[in-house]
Amino acid sequence: MKVFITVPLICLSFTVIAQDDLLKELEKSQPPETEYIEQTFKGTRLVNGQSVETKGQGELEFIFAHRFGPMSGGLYELYGLDQAYVRIGLEYGITDRFGVGIGRNSVDKTTDVYGRLKILRQSRGDRNMPVTITAFGNAAAKMSPRKEDDPTGTLTFENRLSYTGQLLIARKFTRALSLQLMPTVVHRNRVDKTIENNDQFALGVGGRIKVSRSVALTGEFYHRFNVFDTNPNKDVIGVGVDIETGGHVFQIVLTNTRGLTERAWLTETTGDFFKGDIHLGFNITRTFQLAERK
């Protein structure tokens, strides 16, 4: 009787061991997985500047940015609410990692076009990449003042052009905390060379702290290098609150610039944040899916 019980048990043991070895071999043959980190930031803007995020393939983002006048204007200017500066723009995702955009800024009648390419994505697993890196570049034409209002006759279209290049380097440390570095260069074809160079170099730092599922605090600061002592402009500072509502992202902003393009807020900010030259503003983005994603 013992023999009849022992033999099946031995066979069962060999079967279990063989199945276990087979499962291990199958697991080894499976390609290791790579997990990519998503939503380092909720939108393509931190405050004034860009984030590492790109639009998905076939997505069209409508961007409406608004800045009021400086709060230091006092009650007569209703603490800046009597003034308004806006930018309206569109950005389209050609692929999940490459997009193009265009916008118009009312401050100095500037039209800008740009592109962004996500070079590397933060990931873990089989491929461990500690950061996300996105390249951003734009060209802008400042059409104010009008040609007929220029007594020198030197404001040709070429002289109105400027270009910006950035590397956006970000890491999502936790579900709540993301930080970003932004080495930047701005080239303007025409400047007052007694107070500044054609090329302006800057380094930005920024980040986001998520406080709830739909609300986050954001901030950024850009420090300019190679600045002349005679240059009257200031480094730009911005803080904001992001509120996500479905397909909308609504950002309430406090910043010392009224500029809404890279050239304007990086090189032409005259307000001192710590002396009350603060502009209240907001950014509103709405995303539409125009084409089916592959």
Question: What letters, b where the CB count within 10 A reaches 16 and e where it falls short, cover 147-173?
Answer: eeeeeeeebeeeebbbbbebebbbbbe
Helix (H, G, I), strand (E, B) or coil at 233: coil
Query: In the chain, how long is the greatest CA-to-CA distance?
Result: 115
- The alpha helices in the chain, defined as continuous H runs, are 2-29, 262-267
Residue 199 amino acid letter: D
For 16-69, what is each residue's pLDDT tens digit? 444 555 555 545 555 568 888 888 998 899 999 999 999 989 999 999 999 988
> Rounded to an integer, what distance in angstroms lies between the CA atom of residue 39 and that of residue 96?
13
For 67-101, what is each residue's pLDDT tens digit? 988 887 778 878 778 788 999 999 999 999 999 99
Instruction: Report whether CATH 3.40.50.300 matches the domain 35-289.
Output: no
For 207-228, what is each residue's pLDDT tens digit? 999 998 889 999 999 999 989 9
Would you call the peptide bond into 145 cis, given omega within 30 degrees of 0 as the criterion? yes
The residue extents of the domains of the chain are 35-289
For 119-159, what is each residue's pLDDT tens digit? 999 998 888 889 999 999 999 999 887 776 666 667 788 98
Residues in the chain: 294
